[in-house]
Amino acid sequence: MALLLAFLTLLLRLVSAAYEITCANTSAPSTLDVVSRPLVSVVQFFIHDNCSLSDKFDDNVLWVATWPTYANVTSENSVTVHLTGYAFGAPTCANDPLSKLYYYSRLLGWTGHEINDTIEDIRYNVMQWNPDFQPTMPFFPADYLSWSIHGAGLTFSTSDSQPRALQTSTGRFGHFQAFENVEVHQQYDRPTLFRSHLKLTGCDSVYETPARTSQHYIVPPKGLTIVSDVDDILRIAEVWNFTAALSRLLVEPFRPRGNMNHVFNHWADEMPKTHFHYVSDAPETTYEYYVRGLGHHYPPGSYDFRPIDFGSWTKVVSPRYWNVRRLIESFPERRYVLIGDTATTSTLTAYGRLEKEYPDQVQCIIMRNVDATEPGNWILPNLKVLPADKLLLFNVSSELNGMTGVLADIEAGKVTGCGGMETGLPGGKIYGLESGILSAWKGFRQYVGCSLHGHRRPNWVHCRPDRPWKM
Ligand SMILES: *[C@@H]1O[C@H](CO)[C@@H](O)[C@H](O)[C@H]1NC(C)=O
Ligand SMILES: *[C@@H]1O[C@H](CO)[C@@H](O)[C@H](O)[C@H]1NC(C)=O
Ligand SMILES: *[C@@H]1O[C@H](CO)[C@@H](O)[C@H](O)[C@H]1NC(C)=O
Ligand SMILES: *[C@@H]1O[C@H](CO)[C@@H](O)[C@H](O)[C@H]1NC(C)=O
Ligand SMILES: *[C@@H]1O[C@H](CO)[C@@H](O)[C@H](O)[C@H]1NC(C)=O
Ligand SMILES: CC(=O)N[C@H]1CO[C@H](CO)[C@@H](O)[C@@H]1O
């Protein structure tokens, strides 16, 4: 009887709880929206169950989240700015450190770790790293536990223009994306920063909607753009180890990988006209961690993340491809060097496809061979999707030391491809279909076998990250 009651209560909360605030301009749901709704409800329930519904918004503030983007020069005195981000409301409880620790330790529990006294452990450890750990610290951002703002309009303004409405409104999970024309009175020969303000409109007047300052780099039509993935190439993430990846993302400080920060900063010093664009497939709700960390260690640049938007299936599946494609279409006369690592399969497929479709723009693909340095990695790369004649594989960042002059030549249009630095595909270790099947099986064993069973897993499931774990 009690079980039935609990089940009914759960069911009721699943169907009744839509963790969203609706404003004036809601859009009709896409087919994918409708199909994914039951799954989304379950996920939302698990995300929100520690924050009571009455706790909604004590402060009644609806926020806009956004990150540095790019702007292309459209004519002599105007640029087209890429605007993207999401709108959210953070319930008071989402900023409560204890609630954050509760969610974090529960996530750890799913990876198979004993969580009896983890809350105290984590609290202790977080304090070690951040003695002034405050509820507002980026650690496990409130955005994760936030409510989405559906159907809000946006106004855009700059220091010398009046607010005007964007031709878009926020989607079901708060996501928005638009291009907007801005008048400028200057010529640009290198990426140049300017600021604008975004403000939500069309929501109930009980909510406060503060304006958010956003940053944009005006990038000239010609030159070199370095597009880079972030996880396991620019920062230590260890995406193949769920426990480590989770802890690195949610509690540890951002740590650059290898000496890639020195390599990038050297390139930026030597080639001040180069544009850097950072692309991650991490959901956009983690943007603050990435923008803060990369901003601290790497040259300034623009960003793209995985949009929380179920508008179309292809965009859900391959956000990296669509993000870089949008960038190339905005600057069709620029040349591109794409950087990533072999443990992120989405990078391999996206880069391979982009090179096929934009062979004149995509000059060189630089990939870190993760297998050479990280024995724990079980993800097998399908390197065959990459063009052998434009591929530079490296093991450690010192191999990129001779690259600066080559990049300058690519920028100047003096050389094509990787300017003679190509390594081609390595002999022996190339996986085709085999890579998909083997990775899927190993991934299945790790995530389903190890993660879902928790610490009660049967002995025959040999879990690689299956060790007692303390931070
Ligand atoms: C965790 O807590 C349960 C119940 O309080 C207890 O039975 C169990 O022994 C504890 N496990 C560890 C490893 O402390
Ligand atoms: C509502 O959104 C659509 C696009 O999503 C836009 O064309 C329209 O102008 C918006 N209407 C209002 C009143 O903001
Ligand atoms: C600027 O970017 C927009 C959006 O991608 C694109 O439609 C337009 O063609 C670009 N303008 C130029 C001059 O390349
Ligand atoms: C990179 O590592 C691979 C092993 O994964 C090795 O075969 C290769 O020789 C290494 N390359 C260099 C330049 O050290
Ligand atoms: C996974 O990460 C945890 C925590 O950093 C570590 O203790 C464990 O040894 C890792 N497992 C592997 C296989 O690298
Ligand atoms: C708002 C709220 O209910 N927070 C609770 C979330 O769970 C942790 C651990 O059980 C509690 O300590 C918080 O008070």
Q: Does the CB atom of residue 370 touch ligand 5 within 6 A?
A: no
Radius of gyration of the chain (CA): 23
Nearest Cα to Cα of residue 331 among 356, 362, 305: 362
Instruction: Collect contacts of 163-168 with beta carbons under 8 A, ≥24 apart.
Output: 163/197, 163/199, 165/201, 166/83
pLDDT of residue 227: 98
Residue nearest to atom 13 of ligand 6 (CA): 99
Give per-residue pLDDT as tens, 275-323.
999 999 999 988 988 999 999 999 999 999 999 888 878 888 899 999 9
Give per-residue pLDDT as tens, 49-60.
667 655 566 678
With the most atoms of ligand 5 within 8 angstroms of its CB, the residue from 241, 249, 463 to mutate is 241
Would you say 419 and 410 are in contact if contact means Cβ atoms under 8 Å apart?
yes
pLDDT at 10 over 70: no
Q: Does the CB atom of residue 155 touch ligand 2 within 6 A?
A: no
Q: Which residues of 97-220 form beta strands (DSSP E)? A: 147-150, 153-158, 161-169, 175-183, 192-201, 212-219
Mean pLDDT over 84-96 rounds to 83
Give per-residue pLDDT as tens, 245-283.
877 777 677 889 999 999 999 999 999 999 999 999 999
* Mean pLDDT comparison of 11-20, 91-100, 355-364, highest-scoring range: 355-364
* pTM, rounded to two decimals: 0.86
Q: How confident is the model at residue 128 (pLDDT cuts 50, 70, 90)?
A: low
* Mean pLDDT comparison of 237-246, 310-319, 388-397, highest-scoring range: 388-397
pLDDT at 399 over 90: yes
CA 96/CA 129 separation, integer angstroms: 18
Looking at 68-82, 243-257, 389-403, 437-451, which range is the least confident one?
Answer: 437-451
Would you say 345 and 439 are in contact if contact means Cβ atoms under 8 Å apart?
yes
Would you say 220 and 188 are in contact if contact means Cβ atoms under 8 Å apart?
yes
Contacts of residue 294, Cβ cutoff 8 Å, sequence gap at least 6: 230, 234, 235, 254, 278, 301, 303
Give per-residue pLDDT as tens, 178-230.
999 999 888 888 999 999 999 999 999 989 999 999 999 999 999 999 999 99
Length of the chain: 471
CA 467/CA 471 separation, integer angstroms: 12
pLDDT at 90 over 50: yes
With the most atoms of ligand 4 within 8 angstroms of its CB, the residue from 395, 425, 431 to mutate is 395
pLDDT at 176 over 90: yes
Question: What is the residue-averaged pLDDT of the chain?
Answer: 82
Describe the strand order of the beta sheet including 275-283 as a list of residue ranges: 302-306, 275-283, 224-228, 335-341, 362-368, 391-394
pLDDT at 386 over 80: yes
Ligand 3 atom with minimal separation from the 332 CA:
14
Given phi > 0 = left and psi -120 to 50 = alpha, else beta, which region is 202? left
Mean pLDDT over 36-61 rounds to 72
Give per-residue pLDDT as tens, 453-469.
554 545 555 554 444 33
Residue nearest to atom 4 of ligand 5 (CA): 244
CA 141/CA 148 separation, integer angstroms: 14
pLDDT at 379 over 80: no
pLDDT at 125 over 90: no
Residue nearest to atom 9 of ligand 5 (CA): 465
Q: Does the CB atom of residue 117 touch ligand 1 within 6 A?
A: no
pLDDT of residue 137: 43
- DSSP codes of every residue in 209-261: ---EEEEEEEE-SSSEEEEE--BTTTB---TTSHHHHHHHHHTSPP-B-TTHH
Q: How confident is the model at residue 428 (pLDDT cuts 50, 70, 90)?
A: low
Residue nearest to atom 4 of ligand 2 (CA): 168
Burial pattern 325-351, b for ≥16 Cβ within 10 A else e, equals bebbebbeebbbbbbbbbbbbbbbbbb
Give per-residue pLDDT as tens, 95-114.
676 677 677 666 666 665 55
In the numeric block, the tokens 């995985």 are attached to 306
Q: What six digits make up the tokens of 50?
A: 């520690």
Looking at 92-96, 233-237, 268-272, which range is the least confident one?
Answer: 92-96
Question: DSSP 3-state assignment of 72?
Answer: strand
Residue nearest to atom 6 of ligand 6 (CA): 99
- Taking CA atoms, 178 is separated from 1, 70, 139, 169, 326, in Å, by 52, 12, 29, 9, 11
With the most atoms of ligand 3 within 8 angstroms of its CB, the residue from 330, 331, 333 to mutate is 330
CA 355/CA 212 separation, integer angstroms: 36
Residue nearest to atom 1 of ligand 5 (CA): 465
Residue nearest to atom 7 of ligand 4 (CA): 372
Q: How confident is the model at residue 471 (pLDDT cuts 50, 70, 90)?
A: very low
Residue nearest to atom 14 of ligand 4 (CA): 395
- Name which residue leads in pLDDT, 217 or 450: 217
- Taking CA atoms, 361 is separated from 227, 333, 416, in Å, by 12, 7, 10
Nearest Cα to Cα of residue 146 among 196, 204, 103: 103
Q: How confident is the model at residue 448 (pLDDT cuts 50, 70, 90)?
A: low
With the most atoms of ligand 5 within 8 angstroms of its CB, the residue from 236, 467, 470, 471 to mutate is 467
Expressed in angstroms and rounded, the spacing between residue 74 Cα and the centre of ligand 3 is: 7
Q: Does the CB atom of residue 376 touch ligand 5 within 6 A?
A: yes
pLDDT at 12 over 70: no
pLDDT of residue 404: 94
Ligand 4 atom with minimal separation from the 426 CA:
7
CA 415/CA 393 separation, integer angstroms: 19
pLDDT of residue 468: 39
- Name which residue leads in pLDDT, 164 or 59: 164
Expressed in angstroms and rounded, the spacing between residue 381 Cα and the centre of ligand 4 is: 15
Would you say 358 and 227 are in contact if contact means Cβ atoms under 8 Å apart?
no
- pLDDT above 90: percentage of residues in the chain: 48
State the ligand closest to the CA atom of 114. 1
pLDDT of residue 35: 83
* Residue 181 DSSP one-character state: E
